[in-house]
Structure 1
Amino acid sequence: MLIFILIIIGCLLILLNLKAIKKEEKSFYNIFHNTEENMEDVEIKLGKIRQEFSETILELQKEIVDIKKDIDKLYTIIELNNGNLKDEESLQEISINKKIEHEEKTNIDFKKNTKINKSDKNSIKIDEISDLLMKGYSVEEIGDKLGVGKGEILLVRDLYLK
Structure 2
Amino acid sequence: MTVLLLTIGVILIALNIVAIKKEKGSFKYTLDNTENDMQDFQVEIGKLRKEIGETVLDLQKEIEDIKNSLQIIQNSDSHEEGKKEKEVVEDTIKNHSDENYKENIQYNEEENNKENKKEEDNEEENKAVAKGNSVKIEQVGNMIDSGMTIEEISKKLNIGKGEVLLIKELYLK
TM bin, normalised by shorter chain, reads: 0.3 to 0.5
TM-score w.r.t. the length of structure 2 is: 0.44
Q: Which has the higher contact order (CA 8 A, sep 6+)?
A: 1
- Higher Rg of the two aligned structures: 1
